[in-house]
């Protein structure tokens, strides 16, 4: 599963905070206390972010909160990296005099980073307060928010009005209709909004008559496989038993139905 930009920085950040709160930095009580506090606050936010990862479409309020948390996480990550670079490499058993001299030399930096961590603490508190105030954990499960899947409109685009798809369409048709008798998977990849779904539907409509079984089924980024296979059975004209509700049962029924058939999915 692809890792989002937010989760990509949040999880390493939690690891760094756990390190700062550990025994290695026992002499820096102020830093340990701040790091421990931030770790707890961010862990609560991380739980909400993990729920958002399972959503195909976010409530606008939740999306704004997620983006703010991402920017805050980058700031925190940079701050902690600065701290570790300056103080993390000190010898663990440095002599008392050397340690005292080093402490005096870096006192200004310590205060600067302590002040910065205090600012980040305030930001973390504000972010968590917004999460609670606007019920971010609940807003995406509300039945009142119904997102329109952008793939649906792409499926019904008039092919006559499309520009620049003839070349890719012909290439895909050739790949799918050559004489090799074996299972094939042809992938269309690219950024969102490039017209991948529309192109796939064009190819499907052009060649579906050459196959005994065919189905066109848009799938979300976080698919429910049981629902998908049930829909696939319906599109293939299968009349599944009501008892065949387990995923393995659906797979076995589909395998039997598709054996010895030329199929376009």
**Residues 259, 177 share a domain:** no
Average pLDDT of the chain is 75
**pLDDT band with cut points at 50, 70 and 90 for residue 232:** confident
264 membership: H or E segment, kind and range: strand 263-264
101-115, 121-135, 236-250: which has the minimum mean pLDDT? 101-115
Q: Report whether pLDDT(140) > 80.
A: no
What pLDDT, on a 0 to 100 scale, did the predictor assign at position 104?
47
**pLDDT band with cut points at 50, 70 and 90 for residue 158:** low
Q: Report whether pLDDT(125) > 80.
A: yes
**Residues 19, 86 share a domain:** yes
35-49, 135-149, 238-252: which has the minimum mean pLDDT? 135-149
Distance CA 258, CA 263 (A): 7
DSSP letter for 263, please.
Answer: E
Q: Report whether pLDDT(90) > 60.
A: no
**Residues 217, 203 share a domain:** no
What pLDDT, on a 0 to 100 scale, did the predictor assign at position 63?
84
**End of a domain among 168, 188, 210?**
210
CA nearest to 233, candidates 204, 255, 260, 210: 255
**End of a domain among 95, 117, 139?**
139
Please indicate, yes or no, whether the overall pTM of this predicted structure exceeds 0.75: no
pLDDT tens by residue, 197-221: 888 888 888 888 888 888 888 877 7
**Residues 74, 20 share a domain:** yes
What pLDDT, on a 0 to 100 scale, did the predictor assign at position 2?
43
Total domain count, the chain = 3
**DSSP of 104-169, one letter per residue?**
HHTHHHHHHHHHHHHHHHHHHHHHHHHHHHTTHHHHTT-TT--PPPHHHHHHT--GGG--S-HHHH
* Residue range of the domain that includes 263: 213-265
Q: Report whether pLDDT(20) > 50.
A: yes
Greater pLDDT, 190 or 229: 229
What pLDDT, on a 0 to 100 scale, did the predictor assign at position 137?
75
What pLDDT, on a 0 to 100 scale, did the predictor assign at position 195?
77
**Residues 133, 164 share a domain:** no
**pLDDT band with cut points at 50, 70 and 90 for residue 84:** confident
What is the pLDDT averaged over residues 47-74? Answer: 82
Looking from the CA of 167 toward its CB, the CA atoms found within 13 Å total 2
Q: How far is CA 110 from CA 39, 105, 117, in A?
A: 20, 10, 10
CB atoms within 10 A of CB 141: 10
Backbone phi and psi for residue 213, each to the nearest 5 degrees, phi listed first: -125, 140
Q: Do the beta carbons of residue 127 and residue 45 sit within 8 Å?
A: yes
**Residues 130, 36 share a domain:** yes
What pLDDT, on a 0 to 100 scale, did the predictor assign at position 143?
43
Q: Is 239 exposed, middle or buried (0-12, 13-18, 19+ CB in 10 A)?
A: exposed
What pLDDT, on a 0 to 100 scale, did the predictor assign at position 192?
67
Greater pLDDT, 76 or 142: 76
**Residues 152, 39 share a domain:** no
Q: Is 241 exposed, middle or buried (0-12, 13-18, 19+ CB in 10 A)?
A: exposed
In the numeric block, which tokens belong to residue 177? 């209709």
**Residues 240, 171 share a domain:** no
What pLDDT, on a 0 to 100 scale, did the predictor assign at position 145?
45
**Residues 237, 121 share a domain:** no
What pLDDT, on a 0 to 100 scale, did the predictor assign at position 142?
45
What pLDDT, on a 0 to 100 scale, did the predictor assign at position 241?
53
**Residues 97, 33 share a domain:** yes
**Residues 218, 202 share a domain:** no
pLDDT exceeding 70 applies to what percent of the chain? 69
Distance CA 203, CA 82 (A): 53
**Residues 156, 134 share a domain:** no
74-110 burial string, b = 16+ CB within 10 Å, else e? Answer: eebbebbeebeeebeeeeeeeeeeeeeeeeeeeeeeb
What is the pLDDT averaged over residues 143-158? Answer: 54
**pLDDT band with cut points at 50, 70 and 90 for residue 146:** very low
**End of a domain among 102, 121, 139?**
139
């Amino acid at each position: 599963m692809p890792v989002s930009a937010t989760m990509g920085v949040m999880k390493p950040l939690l690891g760094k905070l756990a390190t700062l709160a550990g025994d290695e930095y026992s002499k820096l009580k102020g830093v340990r206390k701040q790091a421990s506090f931030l770790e707890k606050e961010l862990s609560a936010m991380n739980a909400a972010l993990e729920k958002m990862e399972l959503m195909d479409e976010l409530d606008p309020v939740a999306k704004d909160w997620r983006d703010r948390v991402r920017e805050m996480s980058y700031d925190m990550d940079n701050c902690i990296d600065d701290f570790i670079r300056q103080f993390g490499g000190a010898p663990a058993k440095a002599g008392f005099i050397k340690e005292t001299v080093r402490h005096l030399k870096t006192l200004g930096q310590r205060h600067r980073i302590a002040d910065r961590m205090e600012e980040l603490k305030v930001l973390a508190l504000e972010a968590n307060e917004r999460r609670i105030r606007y019920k971010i954990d609940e807003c995406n499960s509300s039945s009142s928010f119904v997102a329109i899947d952008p793939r649906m409109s792409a499926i019904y685009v008039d092919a006559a009005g499309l520009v620049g798809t003839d070349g890719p369409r012909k290439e895909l048709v050739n790949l799918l209709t050559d004489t090799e008798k074996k299972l094939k998977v042809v992938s269309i990849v690219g950024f969102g909004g490039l017209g991948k779904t529309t192109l796939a539907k064009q190819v499907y409509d052009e060649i579906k008559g050459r196959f005994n079984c065919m189905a066109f089924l848009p799938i979300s980024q976080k698919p429910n496989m049981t629902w998908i296979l049930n829909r696939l059975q319906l599109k293939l004209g299968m009349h599944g038993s009501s008892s065949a509700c387990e995923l393995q049962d659906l797979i076995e029924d589909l395998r039997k139905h598709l054996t010895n058939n030329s199929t376009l999915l």
